[in-house]
């Protein structure tokens, strides 16, 4: 599917532009751009009339097609870099309207199987395996901080997507995997940089919503495990220590037992139980705020930044982590919807490494 669009090579033609093969398209009727640390790929949907006057006084015959490599930028700053997934047209006798949607280049990692033979690696670091998986798709991997020791052994499962394999890898190192907005993959941790401004209900926050869900939160977390069985040992000799951490914010009795991923000490299990309690509490408290415009102090709002939120209606007056940022444009102007959560929800705890299979 292809469609004609007016274009100009002047980036200031529109605050939101699609660059296709060096040509810049703007003047959208409506747009939505979605970015989040919970998704491996950001995405966008924009709509436009079939033709309209360009800044040079004419119109363009350039067609945008599915599969075209594109960069979506806001105010000249890249936000999504990848490809057009779909082109849709709606028309009647006197109107033609086009809709384009696409995702970051990492969208292919979400969709496609990891096709490697034999599909197992030994002695490689996380970023090395990640780059091997991403190379066939032309996606570059960058890391922020230490990714830990090399994996003794890592193996793909049959039919596993690249995105799922990356999630497993990152889980063993307590990392997030997110699109970097410029066509690459970033391996990082929950952010520490500050957002360009605070979010204050009644000032820059035009609308707000909150979600408080304790269905996956418990009053008590017990972590327990077992040491490997050794011949001639009694069962009571191999039972590992256990640890209990309580969430005193839960008023009723709701216990949860977690089997530890590896043998450990009482102190290690206490750390594991504390992380479980913090993570579940962090995910149970979320809020979303709608702000006018797409930036503050000339800086775009971005996910994975710390922002101070003051919202007396729901009792928030503290630093939160920006989980997702949605930019929108329509007849009401440009707006940003910012989703926030407690940082504990994304301070991931590294899981134990996969074990090398025993050779027969």
What CATH number is associated with residue 156?
3.55.50.10
Identify the pLDDT of residue 55. Answer: 39
Decide if 158 is inside a domain.
Answer: yes
What CATH number is associated with residue 265?
3.30.1920
pLDDT band of residue 26 (cuts 50, 70, 90) is confident
Do 11 and 87 fall into the same domain? yes
Decide if 85 is inside a domain.
Answer: yes
Decide if 23 is inside a domain.
Answer: yes
Identify the pLDDT of residue 140. Answer: 98
pLDDT band of residue 28 (cuts 50, 70, 90) is confident
Cα 152–156–161 angle (5° rounding)?
135
Q: Tokens 């699109």 — which residue?
A: 179
Q: What is the mean pLDDT of the chain?
A: 87
DSSP states along 281-315 = HHHTEEEEEEEESSEETTEE--SS-EEEEEETTTT
Do 15 and 86 fall into the same domain? yes
Q: Give the tokens for residue 20.
A: 């296709």
| Of 51, 68, 103, the domain-final residue | 103
Q: How many domains does the chain have?
A: 3
Decide if 194 is inside a domain.
Answer: no
Sequence-separated (6 or more) residues with CB below 8 Å from residue 8: 24, 26, 54, 55, 56, 60
User: 64: number of CA atoms within 13 Å, CB side?
Assistant: 32
The range of the structural domain enclosing residue 241 comes to 220-283
Identify the pLDDT of residue 266. Answer: 87
Identify the pLDDT of residue 228. Answer: 55
Decide if 327 is inside a domain.
Answer: no
Closest by CA to 79, choosing from 47, 36, 131, 25, is 36
* Residues 265, 241: Cα–Cα separation, whole Å: 6
Identify the pLDDT of residue 8. Answer: 38
What is the spatial order of strands in the sheet that 176-179 belongs to? Answer: 141-143, 185-188, 176-179
Residues 47-87: pLDDT tens digits?
987 654 343 444 454 578 999 999 999 989 999 999 999 99
Closest by CA to 28, choosing from 20, 18, 40, is 18
Kindly tell me if the per-residue pLDDT of 10 is higher than 60: no
DSSP state of 219: S
Sequence-separated (6 or more) residues with CB below 8 Å from residue 169: 126, 129, 130, 151, 154
Q: Give the tokens for residue 231.
A: 């011949």
Residues 179-212: pLDDT tens digits?
999 999 999 999 999 999 999 999 999 999 999 9
Decide if 196 is inside a domain.
Answer: no
Do you know the residue count of the chain?
A: 360
**Distances 117 to 162, 356, 359 between C-alpha atoms, Å:** 14, 18, 19
- Tell me how far the alpha carbon of residue 344 is from its chain's centroid: 16
Decide if 90 is inside a domain.
Answer: yes
Identify the pLDDT of residue 360. Answer: 41
**Region 163-173 average pLDDT:** 93
Identify the pLDDT of residue 235. Answer: 52
Decide if 138 is inside a domain.
Answer: yes
Three-state secondary structure call for residue 92:
coil
Q: Based on C-alpha coordinates, what's the Rg of the chain?
A: 24
Kindly tell me if the per-residue pLDDT of 45 is higher than 90: yes
Intra-chain end-to-end CA distance of the chain, in Å? 54
Closest by CA to 217, choosing from 175, 247, 177, is 247
* Residues 71, 19: Cα–Cα separation, whole Å: 5
Kindly give the residue spans of alpha helices, DSSP state H, lying in the chain.
107-111, 126-134, 162-171, 235-238, 266-283
Three-state secondary structure call for residue 250:
coil
Residues 110-131: pLDDT tens digits?
999 999 988 999 999 999 999 9
What CATH number is associated with residue 58?
2.30.300.10
Identify the pLDDT of residue 227. Answer: 58
Evaluate whether 272 touches 221 at the Cβ level (below 8 Å). no
Evaluate whether 90 touches 29 at the Cβ level (below 8 Å). no
């Amino acid at each position: 599917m292809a469609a004609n669009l007016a274009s100009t090579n002047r980036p200031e033609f529109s605050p939101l532009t699609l660059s296709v093969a060096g040509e810049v398209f703007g003047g959208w009727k409506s747009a939505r751009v979605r970015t989040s640390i919970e998704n491996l790929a950001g995405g966008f949907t924009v709509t436009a009339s079939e033709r309209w006057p360009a800044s040079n006084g004419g119109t363009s015959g350039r067609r945008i097609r599915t599969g075209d490599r594109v960069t979506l930028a806001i105010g000249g700053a890249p936000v999504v870099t990848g490809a057009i997934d779909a082109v849709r047209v709606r028309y009647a006798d006197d109107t033609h309207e086009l809709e384009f949607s696409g995702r970051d280049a990492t969208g292919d990692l979400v969709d496609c199987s990891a096709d490697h033979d034999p599909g197992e690696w030994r002695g490689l670091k996380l970023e090395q395996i990640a780059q091997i998986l991403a190379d066939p798709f032309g996606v570059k991997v960058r890391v922020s901080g230490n990714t830990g020791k090399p994996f003794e052994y890592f193996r793909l499962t049959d039919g596993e997507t690249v995105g799922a394999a990356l999630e497993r890898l990152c889980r063993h190192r307590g990392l997030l995997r997110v699109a970097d907005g410029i066509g690459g993959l970033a391996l990082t941790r929950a952010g520490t940089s500050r957002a360009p401004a605070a979010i204050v209900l009644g000032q820059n926050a035009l609308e707000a919503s909150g979600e408080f869900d304790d269905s996956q939160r418990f009053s008590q977390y017990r972590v327990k495990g077992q040491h490997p069985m050794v011949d001639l040992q009694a069962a009571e000799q191999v039972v590992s220590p256990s640890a209990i951490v309580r969430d005193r914010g839960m008023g009723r009795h709701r216990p949860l037992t977690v089997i530890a991923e590896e043998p450990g000490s009482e102190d290690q299990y206490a750390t594991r139980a504390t992380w479980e309690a913090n993570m579940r509490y962090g995910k149970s408290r979320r809020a979303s705020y709608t702000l006018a415009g797409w930036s503050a102090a000339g800086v775009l709002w971005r996910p994975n930044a710390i922002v101070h939120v003051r919202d007396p209606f729901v009792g928030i007056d503290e630093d939160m982590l920006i989980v997702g940022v949605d930019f929108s444009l329509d007849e009401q102007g440009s707006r940003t919807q910012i989703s926030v959560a407690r940082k504990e929800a994304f301070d991931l705890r590294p899981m134990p490494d996969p074990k090398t299979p025993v050779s027969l």
